[in-house]
Amino acid sequence: MSLPEGVQRREFDGEEVLATRGEPVYGEPVVEGWRRWDASRSKLGATFAHGLDTGLSGGDGVLYLGAANGTTVSHVADFAGPTYAVEFAPRPVRDLLGVAEDRGNLFPLLKDARKPETYAHVVESRLDAIVQDVATRGQADVALANRQFLADDGRFVGAIKARSEDVTREPEAVFEDVLERLREGYEVLSTDRLEPHHDDHLAVVATPK
């Protein structure tokens, strides 16, 4: 598996795990400037840990949808270029602003990822990547609505949360429905379940059609 430049496997307490270089954010261990990237707290971290080829590269321009309080997007900003972090809830955005103080390339946006027209004037077009981690029904719709920001050869890297779509159905059935909808605007390159790090989640790597 090829990791982006700026993401390495480093040893922490005798265990080799993912790490990025940057200021600590959530109490993670730091060794020689490298922050441990806890895959159990990060769907993207788990995606890397599971060996998926995301196509992400160091210096990429990234739109991160569902940034929450900045746990994962802080790692993304450590290796990426301009990183636009969209989060709907005001409380996490306050934390996100604190994370951005140490990262000049991280731009928090208090916006709804389902309404990209509200931040289209801020976010660059033809970005290298969209990373999506939203807990809402209609996750494929969010990905399709934000496809406009991706370069033709860009990558979508997302985590589908089955329970956010429908708690009454089996996750596999939910995943199939979401992927079918996603294929209306993307070519799905690879998928993988994220257990044991995250139950009922499916990692997806895709490129725009």
- Residue 200 annotated in ligand binding: no
d(CA 39, CA 46): 4
- Residue 149 annotated in ligand binding: no
Backbone angles phi, psi at 30, to 5 degrees: -130, 130
- Residue 136 annotated in ligand binding: yes
- Residue 71 annotated in ligand binding: yes
- Residue 89 annotated in ligand binding: no
* Burial classification of residue 104, based on how many CB atoms lie within 10 Å of its CB (0-12 exposed, 13-18 middle, 19 or more buried): exposed
- Cα separations in angstroms, 95 against 33, 67, 167: 22, 10, 29
Strand order in the sheet with 30-31: 7-12, 15-21, 34-36, 30-31
Are 19 and 30 in contact by the 8 Å Cβ rule? The answer is no
- Residue 207 annotated in ligand binding: no
Q: Kindly state the helix (H) or strand (E) to which residue 64 belongs, with its residue range.
A: strand 62-65
d(CA 2, CA 4): 7
- Residue 141 annotated in ligand binding: no
- Residue 72 annotated in ligand binding: yes
- Residue 133 annotated in ligand binding: yes
Annotated binding residues for S-adenosyl-L-methionine: 71-72, 87-88, 112-113, 133-136
Annotated binding residues: 71-72, 87-88, 112-113, 133-136
